[in-house]
Amino acid sequence: MNYRLPDKPILPDPLIGNRGEQIVSPKQWREQRRSEIVELFRQHVYGRCPIGRPRSQSFEVADQSGGWMNGTAVRKKINIRFDGPGGTGVIHLYLFVPITEGKKVPAFLLICNREQENMDPDRKVQSPFWPAEDIVSRGYAAAVFHVQDADPDFDDGFRNGVHGIWEAAEAPRPADAWGTIGAWAWGASRVMDYFEADPDIDEARVAVVGHSRGGKTALWCGAQDERFALVVSNDSGCTGAAITRGKQGETVQDINQRFPHWFCENYKGFNGREHDLPVDQHMLLALIAPRLLYVASATEDIWADPASEFLACMHANPVYKLLGFLGFEAEGSPLPEVPIHEGRIGYHLRTGKHDLTRYDWNCFMDFADRHM
């Protein structure tokens, strides 16, 4: 592949505050700039959730059985239930926990946006998209839920899914109301609520993983919800890990036209005008700092644009540095199959297509073994 870093786009600086002031201390980042940037993304890109953890939320154990994976794992099926003015919802969480002697285990949570068979809880299908056996054999709990439980992935005017539960149907939607990606990210945070209550899971060592639209979701989830120790974006591309300005492949206009329900209404105002956005995606990555972040790209995934994903890691680094950590310092362009795992931002470029593979998962786990 012709791997070329885009000509240096002029990017908004995560370390210049809304009033033009330079952010010079970790305290200023924590107390001021971080929340300014979260707000900018809420207002202009992903929208605002009307609700956090619902008071009505409950966890129902639908199954807890041993003997899975040659006797090395316990399977749990958990129904995360909630209700609001517009109805009730349930997120079905599947979880395989490696058996240890009373020790809490770290976990990988996949936000699944593919067909259900990829997350088969009966393991008749063992898809590389969610290689639960591999994850468990490396000492991590393997957890997954499907995005449709939070919000079905089509444009129905925000009637179904969690939008319909908390939004009055007759009320006009604000231009910064949450879209579908925001609803999915909200769902992943509800799973974290559950992890905090499960004595088998070390909630301080949980990674949230997503591929493509799921990767955009993992990033937005981890940016807002600081309980996640590691955030993994696989091939997330436009409005995920890729810098928007000067991006190849999918543009803001493309994504808003094809998926009008993913982001907030305000985002459509930036169709063809990405240079006017007050943010770019390196600032989303910077919101993960100083926690662990992983960005994965694939050589043939031109629509997502690997070079722009790599560039975002480089431009998130100054925030890690300000906070006293090594984030991502790379020279030139990455080589395929040569992961960069030194700092708190991990990266790899895989040869091949837009997909989530066992190679990708193994890299994520190598990085987690080292840093989490």
The answer to whether 334 contacts ligand GTR (rule: CB under 6 A) is: no
Tokens 């799921």 map to which residue? 214
| Annotated catalytic residue 236 | no
d(Cα 18, Cα 36) in Å, to the nearest integer?
7
Indicate the residue among 167 and 355 with the shorter CB distance to ligand GTR.
355
Q: Which of 220, 218, 215 is nearest to 206 (CA)?
A: 218
Closest contact distance (angstroms) between CB of 115 and ligand GTR is 12
Closest contact distance (angstroms) between CB of 235 and ligand GTR is 8
- Is the separation of the CB atoms in 13 and 36 below 8 Å? no
- Residue 208 CB contacts under 8 Å (≥ 6 apart), including other chains: 109, 111, 188, 192, 218, 221, 222, 228, 230, 231, 232
Q: From the candidates 275, 341, 354, 371, which is the catalytic residue?
A: 354
Is 294 buried (19+), middle (13-18) or exposed (0-12) by CB count in 10 A?
Answer: buried
Cα 16 to Cα 20, 37, 110: the distances in Å are: 6, 10, 34
Indicate the residue among 206 and 238 with the shorter CB distance to ligand GTR.
238
- List the one residue from 43, 118, 180, 212 that touches ligand GTR (CB under 6 A): 212
Closest contact distance (angstroms) between CB of 336 and ligand GTR is 21
- List the one residue from 106, 182, 237, 306 that touches ligand GTR (CB under 6 A): 237
Closest contact distance (angstroms) between CB of 244 and ligand GTR is 12
- List the one residue from 255, 286, 298, 311 that touches ligand GTR (CB under 6 A): 255
The answer to whether 217 contacts ligand GTR (rule: CB under 6 A) is: no
- Residue 58 CB contacts under 8 Å (≥ 6 apart), including other chains: 80, 81, 82
Q: From the candidates 212, 233, 236, 297, which is the catalytic residue?
A: 212
CA atoms within 13 A on the CB side of 192: 27
Closest contact distance (angstroms) between CB of 208 and ligand GTR is 16
Closest contact distance (angstroms) between CB of 236 and ligand GTR is 7
The answer to whether 210 contacts ligand GTR (rule: CB under 6 A) is: no
The answer to whether 250 contacts ligand GTR (rule: CB under 6 A) is: yes
Near ligand GTR in 104-133, by CB under 6 A: 113
DSSP state of 75: E
d(Cα 277, Cα 159) in Å, to the nearest integer?
29
| Annotated catalytic residue 137 | no
- List the one residue from 163, 213, 344, 350 that touches ligand GTR (CB under 6 A): 213
Terminal Cα-to-Cα distance of the chain (whole angstroms): 32
- Residue 157 CB contacts under 8 Å (≥ 6 apart), including other chains: none
- List the one residue from 238, 252, 292, 363 that touches ligand GTR (CB under 6 A): 238
d(Cα 207, Cα 363) in Å, to the nearest integer?
13
Indicate the residue among 251 and 362 with the shorter CB distance to ligand GTR.
251
The answer to whether 297 contacts ligand GTR (rule: CB under 6 A) is: no
What x-and-dash track marks residues 68-107 binding ligand GTR by CB under 6 A?
Answer: ----------------------------------------
- Is the separation of the CB atoms in 253 and 271 below 8 Å? yes
Cis omega (within 30 of 0) for bond into 290: yes
DSSP state of 266: G
Q: How many residues make contact with ligand GTR (CB under 6 A)?
A: 7
The answer to whether 207 contacts ligand GTR (rule: CB under 6 A) is: no
The residues binding ligand GTR (CB under 6 A) are: 113, 212-213, 237-238, 250, 255
Catalytic residues: 212, 354
